[in-house]
Chain A
Amino acid sequence: MSVLSVRGLSLSYPAPRRFLRRAAALPALHDLSFDLQAGERVGLVGASGSGKSSLLRCLLATEAAQTGHILFKGREVAAGPVAALRWYRRAVQYVPQDPVASLEPRMTVAQLVAEPLLRLHVDCDPARRAEEALDSVGLDPRFLSRRPEELSGGQAQRVAIARAIATRPVLLLTDEPVSGLDMTIRAQVVQVLRNLSDAYGTGLLMVSHDISVVAGLCSRAMVMDGGRIVEDRPVRDLLRDPHHIHTRELLNAAPPMTAAA
């Protein structure tokens, strides 16, 4: 069953204004359409400037596209005030790129993980749910009283993941969730994401410019270039037989060992 459908999404940014002259708008997304199935793990790959981040912002409803629709279980998602989007935020959460910087430094881990539960009006005991979420990313309860500066990069990313899954979302959107981490930690965090997805049936849309991480975690990959989805196929097929020249370039850039995995 399709959880999220995107239909005809287009977005362009106003060009920087010059004196008495207006340049054409800069297009970022061109008429995108795709569906995500429940529990599906999808990688979104592409070079810088290909439109991955713009698409992610639209899916997070922090940016409004000029044309097109985003439907979540048939309900229209539109950027708007916080109160009007709580239902969507409970179901679709986000793991950011820079784990340490994305955690408010003045709050404890317990407060950080419980914050979306309180603000999104999730019907539960926030303290208990926060502890559970922390446990499911492999951190024990003594971390609850720590602050972000006392966490390592890997621990901070686990906290960010715990915060995102605390509301028991249907879909997790992640932006380069492991790119800032070193190799061993990277594997652990990928493992955490895989376990969570398997255990709760949470879908995953992972933005990455590194196709090897996508290969290790996702079953399907979408390749973006110039604001368009140029290839959308199972990862296995994509690795064996890349159609688009841009996909081949991305594969060549990936370390060969992991690309084979």
Chain B
Amino acid sequence: MIRTLDRLTPALSRGVTLCAVMVLVAMLPWISGRDPARSILRARMGEQDASPEALAALRDRLGLAEGPVAHMRGWFAGLAQGDWGTSWISGAPVLPGMVKALGVSLTLMSAAFAVALVTAVLLAGPTMRRGLRGRDTRSSGTVAASLTAMPEFMLSALFLVVFSVWLGWLPPYGWQGPAHVVLPALALGLPGGGLLGRLLTNAVAATFHERWIATWAVAGFSRRQIARAVLRRSLPALMPQMGMIVVGMTGGAIAVEQVFSIPGLGRAVLGAASAQDLPALQAGILILLLNALVIGVVANLIRVALLGRALHMGALPVARVVPLPPDPRLWLVPAAVVVILLVLLAAGLPRDPFTSQFLRLQPPGFDLPLGADGLGRDVLARIAHGALSTVGMAVLVTLISLFIGLGMGLMPRLAIGLIEVTKATPPTIAALIVVAAMGPSAPGALLAVTAVAWAPLAAHTAALVTEARAQPHVRIAPILGVGPLRLIPRSILPAIFGPVLRHAMLRLPGNALALAALGFLGLGARPPSPEWGLILADALPYVERAPLAVLTSVLALALISVLGVSLVSMTRR
């Protein structure tokens, strides 16, 4: 009995987590603490003080009078019958609009996925060629890593400036024809393609180190046959990550759709969030989550199909990749980034980021090194102050997520469902839930990013804990009278803390970018605070008159990406 329960724990954990997320979404109108009826009246008629009779009548009609539990039951029953609620703003059913928007988003994501695949193949091509010629294969380079670190909203803004505004090659916004798909698909697909390319390159390089390659070559197999076998061997390991990349796209698509004004699911959800139209928001979040779930399941099924019997027999060969000798110049890049950031801070911190003391969009000059923004505020001052707040918040997120990750990772079997679901939730979707519950704010963004940032750390911790528990000096502990609780400070924590701390620090730049993305989407810090995402969002409406302002904030964000990539590649070797 206990054994059965023990074996079922992971499955239970997954099930309970899914139910908890559903209940959370269902309860959003009640968690938000706002009176839904009052919100609706305000949204529809702009009445600040609705009469009690009108409120009561509306509550009755919406079935809100019966309280949260009955309301939730009604909501779930409605879901099953295809009635996903009616918009508080328009009074129309939310499902048809959301489904139409989902169609647009899926088209965009398919195009982006194609971009990602092509990018990955281009990145992994050289390694494959070297391997087939029998030369040494090595893991991926800086190009792939840099692509990976570029957040979608930043690439979108960059492409908008370069290809639409300066070169005029492609339309800047809309969704009418194939030309409208190119830039959004590139912005959405390149980061995923970079990651996929890096993973594929590493997997192919590792496969070429396996012994059967030499056997096959000696036996006279053609290069094409070997190439196919190498791919078949390397792909299954990538499938979970492939799933994660596509899931990540559902979050990235929200930003891309916002920049390019594409009428997709992300933009619809974002609109619902800023209008506090909770039924629409609930439906949108649910579709996004279901989308992520389906993608994860499909990716796993493909992996199982590719691996076949080998998965059951545990018969996969393990390759030993010889690490490259460390490059002594690797510290130069992060050092340079830090110096640039310090110069920015030194130049900008004494200046005033809030007062509109210059002309609107005043071009750069001696007094004003980076120009003024649309309200006549000093861009240099705003970027410097923004660096301080964005990086400070990112440090906070990183530390909190480190502790949550360690705690959750120490009980992997219990937390597995929570870890998996959280890993599959992009920060943007978490932020949508937070915004629905408490409105947009900087602490809300911090909460949202922290709520997902701990999961990779927990997964890493769990893996290390399993490894540590297999050590002979840990396995002997019960015989010496050392109980499971005392074991954690005695052997487990000392063994895992260093690697997990390093991992958390590597994620610091990524967390900073996630915070900036939320600010950019209006889901985080509010104006007029000088937050990097907000600065970019403020500059974007003037992209045609002052493209330089957009470029400056994009470059500031790129600095953080470069910092992240260079730190990772420094520790990788």
Instruction: Note all chain A residues with C-beta closer than 8 A to B474.
Output: 104
A104 to B478, CA, bound (A): 13
Chain B nearest Cβ from A161, distance in angstroms: 13
Chain A contact residues (Cβ within 8 angstroms of B): what range? 20 to 34
Q: Which of A82, A98, A104 contacts B491 (CB 8 A)?
A: A104
Contact B483 A82 (CB under 8 A): yes
Quick one: given A16-B312, A104-B491, are A115 and B473 in contact (CB under 8 Å)?
A: no
Instruction: Note all chain A residues with C-beta closer than 8 A to B478.
Output: 62, 82
Q: Say whether B472 faces chain A, with CB atoms less than 8 Å apart.
A: yes
Chain B nearest Cβ from A236, distance in angstroms: 32
Contact A81 B483 (CB under 8 A): yes
Instruction: Note all chain B residues with C-beta closer than 8 A to A86.
Output: 481
Q: Say whether A96 faces chain B, with CB atoms less than 8 Å apart.
A: yes
| 0/1 interface trace, chain B 455-488, chain A, CB 8 Å (1 if under) | 0000000000000000111101011111110100
Q: Say whether B494 faces chain A, with CB atoms less than 8 Å apart.
A: yes
Quick one: given A16-B312, A104-B490, are A89 and B473 in contact (CB under 8 Å)?
A: no
8 A Cβ contacts from A94-117 to B? 94, 96-98, 101-106, 115-116
Instruction: Note all chain B residues with C-beta closer than 8 A to A101.
Output: 471-473
| 0/1 interface trace, chain B 485-508, chain A, CB 8 Å (1 if under) | 010001100100000000000000
Contact A102 B472 (CB under 8 A): yes
Name the CB-closest residue of A to B480: A116
Contact B483 A102 (CB under 8 A): no
Instruction: Note all chain A residues with C-beta closer than 8 A to B472.
Output: 96-98, 101-102
Q: Say whether A32 faces chain B, with CB atoms less than 8 Å apart.
A: no
Chain A nearest Cβ from B485, distance in angstroms: 9
Contact B473 A103 (CB under 8 A): yes
Q: Say whether A240 faces chain B, with CB atoms less than 8 Å apart.
A: no
| 0/1 interface trace, chain B 310-351, chain A, CB 8 Å (1 if under) | 001000000000000000000000000000000000000000
Instruction: Note all chain B residues with C-beta closer than 8 A to A116.
Output: 480-481
Chain B nearest Cβ from A150, distance in angstroms: 15
Contact A89 B490 (CB under 8 A): no
Name the CB-closest residue of A to B304: A19
Instruction: Note all chain B residues with C-beta closer than 8 A to A163.
Output: 480
A121 to B474, CA, bound (A): 20
Instruction: Note all chain B residues with C-beta closer than 8 A to A97.
Output: 472
Q: Say whether A142 faces chain B, with CB atoms less than 8 Å apart.
A: no
Instruction: Note all chain B residues with C-beta closer than 8 A to A103.
Output: 473
We find that the number of chain B residues with CB closer than 8 angstroms to chain A is 17
8 A Cβ contacts from B196-254 to A? none
A98 to B484, CA, bound (A): 22
Instruction: Note all chain A residues with C-beta closer than 8 A to B491.
Output: 104, 106
A102 to B491, CA, bound (A): 12
Quick one: given A103-B473, A105-B473, are A89 and B312 in contact (CB under 8 Å)?
A: no
Name the CB-closest residue of A to B477: A104
| 0/1 interface trace, chain B 88-106, chain A, CB 8 Å (1 if under) | 0000000000000000000
Q: Say whether A83 faces chain B, with CB atoms less than 8 Å apart.
A: yes
A118 to B490, CA, bound (A): 14
Name the CB-closest residue of A to B479: A94
Contact A93 B483 (CB under 8 A): no
Chain B nearest Cβ from A28, distance in angstroms: 16
Instruction: Note all chain A residues with C-beta closer than 8 A to B482.
Output: 82, 115, 119
Chain B nearest Cβ from A68, distance in angstroms: 17
A214 to B501, CA, bound (A): 48
Name the CB-closest residue of B to A16: B312
Contact B473 A120 (CB under 8 A): no
Chain B nearest Cβ from A246, distance in angstroms: 28
Chain B nearest Cβ from A6, distance in angstroms: 18
Contact A119 B481 (CB under 8 A): yes
A104 to B490, CA, bound (A): 9
Q: Which of A16, A81, A93, A105 contacts B479 (CB 8 A)?
A: A93
Quick one: given A96-B472, A103-B473, A104-B473, are A115 and B483 in contact (CB under 8 Å)?
A: no
Q: Which of B479, B481, B484, B494 contacts A62 (CB 8 A)?
A: B479
Quick one: given A104-B490, A104-B491, are A89 and B481 in contact (CB under 8 Å)?
A: yes
A101 to B477, CA, bound (A): 12
A103 to B471, CA, bound (A): 10
A97 to B472, CA, bound (A): 9
Interface centre among B312, B476, B490 (most CB of A within 10 A): B476
Chain A nearest Cβ from B5, distance in angstroms: 14
Interface centre among A102, A115, A121 (most CB of B within 10 A): A102
Q: Which of A81, A102, A120 contacts B476 (CB 8 A)?
A: A102
Instruction: Note all chain A residues with C-beta closer than 8 A to B312.
Output: 16, 18
| 0/1 interface trace, chain A 57-73, chain B, CB 8 Å (1 if under) | 00010100000000000
Interface centre among B474, B478, B481 (most CB of A within 10 A): B481
A238 to B480, CA, bound (A): 35
Quick one: given A16-B312, A18-B312, A106-B494, are A94 and B481 in contact (CB under 8 Å)?
A: no
Instruction: Note all chain B residues with C-beta closer than 8 A to A18.
Output: 312
Name the CB-closest residue of A to B474: A104
Contact A89 B471 (CB under 8 A): no
Quick one: given A16-B312, A18-B312, are A119 and B473 in contact (CB under 8 Å)?
A: no
8 A Cβ contacts from B420-461 to A? none
Instruction: Note all chain A residues with C-beta closer than 8 A to B481.
Output: 82, 86, 89, 115-116, 118-121
Chain A nearest Cβ from B3, distance in angstroms: 8
A18 to B314, CA, bound (A): 12
Instruction: Note all chain B residues with C-beta closer than 8 A to A83.
Output: 483
A81 to B2, CA, bound (A): 14
Chain A nearest Cβ from B2, distance in angstroms: 10
Name the CB-closest residue of B to A117: B481
Chain B nearest Cβ from A89, distance in angstroms: 5
Instruction: Note all chain A residues with C-beta closer than 8 A to B483.
Output: 81-83, 119
Quick one: given A16-B312, A104-B490, A106-B494, are A115 and B476 in contact (CB under 8 Å)?
A: no
Q: Which of B480, B484, B494 contacts A119 (CB 8 A)?
A: B480
Chain A nearest Cβ from B308, distance in angstroms: 11
Name the CB-closest residue of B to A111: B490
Quick one: given A102-B473, A104-B491, are A115 and B480 in contact (CB under 8 Å)?
A: yes
- Ordered nearest first, which 6 A-B pairs have the shortest CB separation? A119-B481, A120-B481, A82-B483, A101-B472, A116-B480, A104-B473
A-B contact pairs, 9 of them (CB 8 A): A18-B312, A60-B479, A82-B482, A82-B484, A96-B476, A106-B491, A119-B480, A119-B481, A119-B486
Apart from A83-B483, A105-B473, A120-B481, list 6 A-B contacts with CB within 8 A.
A62-B479, A89-B479, A103-B473, A104-B474, A104-B490, A119-B483
